[in-house]
Amino acid sequence: MTAPNRLSAAAAIAALGRGELTAEALMRACLDRAEERRDVKAWAWLDPEQALAQARAADRALRPGVLAGLPLGVKDIIDTAAMPTGHGSPIYAGNRPFADAACVALLRMAGGTVMGKTVTTEFANRFPGATVHPHNAAHTPGGSSSGSAAAVADWQVPAALGTQTGGSVIRPSAFCGVVGYKPSFGEFTRSGIKLQCHNLDTLGLLCRSVDDLPPLRAALLAAPLRPIVRDVAAPRIGVCRTPAWERAEPATQTLIERAASRLAAAGAAVCEIAFAPEFANIHEHHRRIFNYEAARNYAYEYEQHHELVSPVLRDTVLRPGRDLPLAAYIEALGTAEAFRRHLDDLFAGCDAFLTPSAAGEAPEGLGSTGDPSFNSIWTLGWVPCVTLPAGKGPRGLPLGVQLIGKRFADEALLDTAGWAAARLQG
């Protein structure tokens, strides 16, 4: 029999709903695994008694909701009234928010329980947190949703919340070998989440199966559950190498070619997709918007707690962002909107794009969270993204493939991801 903590979120919800498993038993199994694997350092805050009290309350609930008592990890830039929210920074050590973030409140309304707060990089930016890769502690788990990715991959919690401003959901999910989902920009509320970039920040999900995404998505939208549709027609897939293709390691380039061949053999109509020449430097426009907005949204931290902000954040983001002229920022905003319209046009002939989730396996060392080049352009494009585990690289660590959907066609993308996952397994 599968240990409760090793169940996918969808399988756990089903077992809870049938009465074959209690929320308390599931939470205990997750807590036991987290204690056993403390060296992964996935949690910024974990109070077993508090977590178990929530689980017992879920078991007593007359209306358990779509999540039925499911334990969840919450990235530590997301406010929780009953737990500290430290934002990965000494500035906010012991910080106790007044209220839950809207997303946490929505998960609770749907019957979810918050197991604890997962480690984030400093302000969900570049300076790493304590978490190590769950499969090889000498490698980064990615970031900034490092604790969420590691906890889900290491069987410590079935699913977790993350955020993405560059590549902070998709890349750590790919590095750790789990499913990651970044929705269309604006679909999930950001109220109560530490703001970094108002034109880029996106709440996302990390889990173990594409089938986990619909109940979590339904909870966060306060909408009826819509399961993955399994009998969809074979999709039209556009292979999009992006202007960052040369940064992809050979194993990743081979993986994308192999995945395209397998999907084509299964009946997908596969073609090549390329950006128009004027978007060859689209990464630069993401960088401008990122730096400019972060420099202003962290004005308090920069001015009042300057020495407690890491040199990495101060010198590579905040100072350049303060120095960037307003005209350059406005130009980047205009280019970003033109790029989104260009993507809309490209999707006229495709149901989804196939592209790398990351440049390669998780890099060795803990001083960096990896290259976001294969994520930031899609974050800028406001399009939904899903990464699927798709094998291992030469060092034995996970690799992923990324599927991109049209803006606000998230449900169609999840259907396509379900179709593709079934044909890429094995």
Q: What is the longest distance spanned by two Cα atoms in the chain?
A: 61
d(CA 215, CA 16): 13
Looking at 8, 89, 144, 373, which residue is catalytic?
144
CA-nearest of 224, 86, 216, 231 to 157 is: 216
Q: Which of 8, 168, 184, 357 is catalytic?
A: 168
Q: Which residues contact 234 (CB under 8 A, 6 or more apart)?
A: 266, 267, 268, 269, 419
H or E element at residue 286? helix 282-297
Cβ atoms of residues 93 and 127 within 8 Å: no
> 140 near 369, Cβ under 8 Å?
yes
Q: Is 75 tagged catalytic? A: yes
- Asked about 144 being catalytic, the answer comes back as yes
Query: How long, in residues, is the chain?
Result: 426
Percentages of the chain per state (helix, strand, coil), in multiples of 5: 45, 15, 40
- Alpha-carbon distances of 243 from 155, 289, 336, 373, 404, rounded to whole Å: 35, 19, 15, 9, 16
Cα separation, 42 vs 157, in Å, equals 10
By C-alpha distance, which of 188, 160, 187 is closest to 176?
160
Q: Give the list of residues 6+ apart from residue 231 with CB closer than 8 angstroms, or none.
A: none
The position carrying tokens 């290491």 is 154
* Active-site residue flag, 168: yes
Q: CA 138 from chain center: how many Å?
A: 22
Query: For the chain, what is the radius of gyration of the CA atoms?
Result: 20
Count the neighbouring beta carbons within 10 Å of the beta carbon of residue 126. Answer: 18
Q: Which residues are catalytic?
A: 75, 144, 168
